[in-house]
Structure 1
Amino acid sequence: MSQQITRSPLAFTRQFSEQASSVLTEQAIDFLSDLVSQFTPSRSQLLTERKTVQANIDRGVLPDFISEMTSIRESEWQIKSIPNDLRDRRVEITGPVERKMVINALNANVKVFMADFEDSLAPEWAKVIEGQINLRDAVKGTISYTNESGKIYQLKPNPAVLVCRVRGMHLPEKHVMWEGEPIPGGLFDFALYFFHNYRELLAKGSGPYFYLPKMQSYKEAQWWSQVFSYAEDSVGLPRGTIKATVLIETLPAVFQMDEILYHLRDHIVGLNCGRWDYIFSYIKTLKNHPERVLPDRQVVTMEQPFLSAYSRLLIKTCHRRGAFAMGGMAAFIPSKDPQRNEWVLNKVIKDKELEAANGHDGTWIAHPGLADTAMSVFNKALGTRANQLDVLREHDAPINAEALLEPCSGSRTAEGMRANIRVAVQYIEAWISGNGCVPIYGLMEDAATAEISRTSIWQWIHHGKTLDDGQQVTKALFQRMLAEEMQVIQQELGEQRFSSGRFHEAAALMEKITTQDELIDFLTLPGYALLA
């Protein structure tokens, strides 16, 4: 039984293990408490505002640029300084905060490792605590890991720069309560990483660097700016010591990129094209608009006009303000089969060449085996430059709301729908079992791809869309396909793996969130109830 431990004003629903006690020290809890009591009420208001904005879109008002913010968009200003160790970010690797992964990622042929408490981590209490310990040990340079066969993993000299991605504003940390409610997960992640590591990071010429996900408005950027400033003041650091990169991975945020940069200008160093979540957000935000239903996810590539416009506008906006414009994720996994591997590498090269040619300053990979390939593309594009801040795209035609919202052509197929079902069920099963980063069919899947898979089917059902073979997409069709694809998963994985897993729970959750009348914002919210 877990025993509730109360340290005013926070209540912890778990007894502290020795590990947890090393992170949740009295001083760290005091710091977290201050942030929670100071910023939770305004965070709740921002989440309410999200609902108001979405309700307007549901009623038919399409997202657009904010007319009252024209002066910020049209005036000349730039973000504050970028630290030296963040000036070259040509390849970044992302992954969960598991110990072996942290070592391998920091040792990879990349410039930055984004250690992820969000989309690639299922936030079991033990994993969240272990993640903080792993990052603290990585910052100290003492991290090591020994696997079952006795192989030792240790940091090489000059590892990649560490950046911590905290949980999105919508995600709670259910094991810590304030005034009877779970505290914001992002504040928990930020507070502990910052508090334990800022001195060591600054002493070695780096700093407390963060990635901020799922932002939907400039007011949320303002909120984070206030959190950062409060943290700096509380430990006597100069303004702008904390640096952040914001993921533009929601449709509402793409219309407020200038404003996000402006309101975070002391702390921000760039924006990132979080393309998979952006596709998910396009579906979710425009869920009531039948003319904007997306086709199979396999054809929703960066060449599609609405995604190309998003990438180009992000680059132009960032570089005008002296901020980096980071490219998106290559989710492919290298293959041991030479022919398949050649196909994978060619896909990655084509994708990264497009990003580099557009003017992105760097790109993301999910597997160390792709580092050399991505690095060679950006080395060729950058030459002697550290980044592409000089690519201003001044001669681009203006990108308007119509371009960013343009409907996407392509077919809806039974095969695509079945693939969505298999990916989503397998990902949900892994997530509720405590694993948020999963190789499925040659791709490293995180929550974003599962979100696309299930919201896409929800939208097809909701609008009664037809597949290219003439079948209408209904709840009954989905339920039949789900039952059939469960058998396929069982055959592919084998009886032992299937029966020892949580696939029936995953299928039940998949059915619930795909067939209910109201679209659930994030599958991780009902999924969290099934996690330890």
Structure 2
Amino acid sequence: MTTLAAVELENAPQGLQHEHETLFTADSVCFLAELISTFDKQVDEILRHRVGRKMELEQTGGLPGFSSLTSHLREDRTWRVLPVPERLQNRHVDIGDLAPSDTERFIQALRSKAQGIQVDFDDGNCPTYFNQIKGIFNVCKAVRNQFQGVPPISKAPVLMLRPRAWNMVEHNMMVNGKEVPGPLFDFGLLMYHNGKLLVENKSGPFFYLSKVESYLEARLWNNIFVWTEQKLGLPAYSIKATVLIESILATFEMDEILFELRDHTAGLNCGIWDYSASFVNKLGDRSAFLLPDRSKYVNMEKLFLQSYMDLLVQTCHRRGALATGGMAALLLPNDTQSAHYHSVMATVTRLKMLEINAGVDGFMVYDLKLIEPLQKLFQKHTLGPNQLHVLREDVVVTPEDLLAMPSGGVTLHGLRYNIVVGILFIEAWLTGRGHFFYLGQVEDSATAEISRSQVWQWIRHQVKLEDDDRAISRSLVKTLAEEIRRELQDFLQCNTEKAKRRLATATAMFLEVVQKRDFPEFFTTYLNLDHTFLSSST
């Protein structure tokens, strides 16, 4: 395999010389360079298309809607996606947010009774060079059954590989003088080293695709899949992908997204926080789209989120694709007899029953202790391995339903909570972690995204607090952030000057992003490009 691309690759991260040499062979680098050279311009085009769509909405004051240009695809009830592979037909409970660089947790997940694992290089992962190399190498070991006490890949929970989203860049490799798209770096290495073995074991390759905003992006991914299958000599249509519908724009194109990926799709996924944040991203300057306190007024029972989930299930099942729900972020206490344990279990059960009743075919959990009780819940309330037979013909969703903001205001608790989550996420990022634990649940870039989005929007619209009628201003947020920084020193046990400086840096960065005149498109882009992995010694 040869390529004319000029390639520059950073040296191995400290302590990962063997992993680096194993992944970056002469042939794998050539494959990766050719993949990136082939699709780099198209990646730039879809990113420019995103900017253009947002500018059009801002300049015209228009609203997202179902396109008349693709109405024939939506109205044609005859087309279907290719049948879902056997290993994907029963995925009641997947483990979510699993950064594969965390070797111990990855092994625990592989030994678990979950049906699948979201092997996450995106939301739950901080994409340092160390984490990417370690994580991809660990996937290679799992596929080759090199972890002791772990079932062979054909028997272990199926790996749902989640590369970074289009907004992320890999700084440690350059092709033709340009840093490379993060998702192509991740996808290329994962496919080159594991694609054939996964096909031989009828266990993939299966992917999650994050933050897709249009059917044009789905078309690009489909082209990448076709090219990769041909280059690696894999059977046609062997790659399958689940698209995460995390943007209000993508919600109006779910049929079209499935159509573009009809030979390579496993279905669509819905999740609450990235999706909610997309309203601020695309429409946040308008007071009509003011999103109220998420800790009090935003949940899957609200019309705009319920409509989104109902439409996703209906669209998927009409086309023969799987519809999967979000992740239970709550953590179960160890004491199974405690009132707290039963309270958490009751909350998770109620929320997951909403999804089961909507017709989803599965969902995710973070806490491994939730796997078996939620599998039993699914089995008790459904028939068979999935709910593809639940066609939801009762569902009629209008654009107004999808764009209906819930009523409600902002509480001081909600404001403080969003500030805490934003600061703690940045602090975790500066130490190379993509998630953290707070108040009995896991928080990742999705919750950080909605947190910083809401604070930015509340400042922009000078929303008044329900508690005391104070307007949310830059001054108020600064004051609260400083109070919170002092409180978090104890929570994080910042016993060294280095740790205190890191927390101060995280606080300053959070304030910077929520005060920007123009809304930063993605929190992780801001961290990855404007602050390229600031040293934790800052």
Q: TM-score, normalised by structure 1?
A: 0.94
Partner-residue secondary structure (3-state), 1:403: helix
Counterpart position of 1:246 = 243
Counterpart position of 1:150 = none
Contact 1:91–1:112 under 8 Å retained in 2:
yes
Shift of 1:382: 2.0
Q: Distance between the aligned counterparts of 1:229 and 1:205, measured in 2?
A: 18
Counterpart position of 1:115 = 119
Q: Distance between the aligned counterparts of 1:7 and 1:116, measured in 2?
A: 32
* Pair 506,7 (structure 1): closer, same or farther in 2 beyond 3 Å: farther
Q: Distance between the aligned counterparts of 2:272 and 2:31, measured in 1?
A: 34
TM alignment of 1:99-248, pairs within 5 A? 99-144=103-148, 154-156=149-151, 158-248=155-245
Counterpart position of 2:261 = 264
Partner-residue secondary structure (3-state), 1:113: strand
Q: Does 1:91 pair with 2:88?
A: no
> Structure 1 stretch 104-113 or stretch 77-86: which is displaced more?
104-113
Counterpart position of 1:72 = 73
> Structure 1 stretch 25-34 or stretch 212-221: which is displaced more?
25-34
Q: Distance between the aligned counterparts of 1:161 and 1:217, measured in 2?
A: 27
* Pair 219,271 (structure 1): closer, same or farther in 2 beyond 3 Å: same
Counterpart position of 2:393 = 394
Partner-residue secondary structure (3-state), 2:244: strand
* 1:326-372 per-position Cα deviation (integer Å, ceiling 9, x unaligned): 01111111123522221111111001111111100001111101112
Query: In angstroms, what is the RMSD of aligned CA positions?
Result: 1.6
Q: Distance between the aligned counterparts of 2:12 and 2:420, measured in 1?
A: 38
Shift of 1:8: 4.2
Contact 1:249–1:273 under 8 Å retained in 2:
yes
Q: Does 1:340 pair with 2:337?
A: no
Contact 2:292–2:407 under 8 Å retained in 1:
yes
Counterpart position of 1:470 = 469
Counterpart position of 2:252 = 255
Dislocated runs of 4+, deviation >6 Å: none
* 1:277-323 per-position Cα deviation (integer Å, ceiling 9, x unaligned): 11111222211111211111113110011000000000000000000
Q: Distance between the aligned counterparts of 1:227 and 1:58, measured in 2?
A: 32
Q: Distance between the aligned counterparts of 1:408 and 1:271, measured in 2?
A: 24
Q: Distance between the aligned counterparts of 1:282 and 1:374, measured in 2?
A: 31
> Structure 1 stretch 38-47 or stretch 100-109: which is displaced more?
100-109
Q: Aligned AA for 2:470?
A: Q
Partner-residue secondary structure (3-state), 1:496: coil
Shift of 1:526: 2.8
Q: Aligned AA for 2:293?
A: D
Shift of 1:15: 4.9
Q: Distance between the aligned counterparts of 1:240 and 1:356, measured in 2?
A: 29
Counterpart position of 1:530 = 533
Contact 2:6–2:177 under 8 Å retained in 1:
no
Q: Aligned AA for 2:120?
A: D
In structure 2, stretches of 5+ residues that fail to align are none
Q: Distance between the aligned counterparts of 1:179 and 1:499, measured in 2?
A: 38
Contact 2:93–2:371 under 8 Å retained in 1:
yes
Q: TM-score, normalised by structure 2?
A: 0.93
> Structure 1 stretch 352-361 or stretch 497-506: which is displaced more?
497-506
Contact 1:325–1:362 under 8 Å retained in 2:
yes
In structure 1, stretches of 5+ residues that fail to align are 1-5, 145-153
Contact 1:92–1:364 under 8 Å retained in 2:
yes
Counterpart position of 1:57 = 57
Partner-residue secondary structure (3-state), 1:183: strand
Contact 1:90–1:363 under 8 Å retained in 2:
yes
Q: Aligned AA for 1:89?
A: R
Percentage identity across paired residues of the two chains: 36
Q: Distance between the aligned counterparts of 1:141 and 1:321, measured in 2?
A: 35
Shift of 1:167: 0.5
Contact 1:349–1:373 under 8 Å retained in 2:
no
Q: Distance between the aligned counterparts of 2:525 and 2:392, measured in 1?
A: 39
Partner-residue secondary structure (3-state), 2:167: coil
Counterpart position of 1:149 = none
Partner-residue secondary structure (3-state), 2:242: strand
Shift of 1:81: 2.2
Paired residues in the alignment total 516
Contact 1:318–1:325 under 8 Å retained in 2:
yes
* 1:97-136 per-position Cα deviation (integer Å, ceiling 9, x unaligned): 1211211112222111110000111111111001011000
Partner-residue secondary structure (3-state), 2:514: helix
Counterpart position of 1:328 = 326
Q: Does 1:364 pair with 2:359?
A: no
Q: Distance between the aligned counterparts of 2:498 and 2:473, measured in 1?
A: 29
* Pair 497,120 (structure 1): closer, same or farther in 2 beyond 3 Å: farther
Shift of 1:12: 1.3
Q: Does 1:23 pair with 2:23?
A: yes
> Structure 1 stretch 112-121 or stretch 173-182: which is displaced more?
173-182
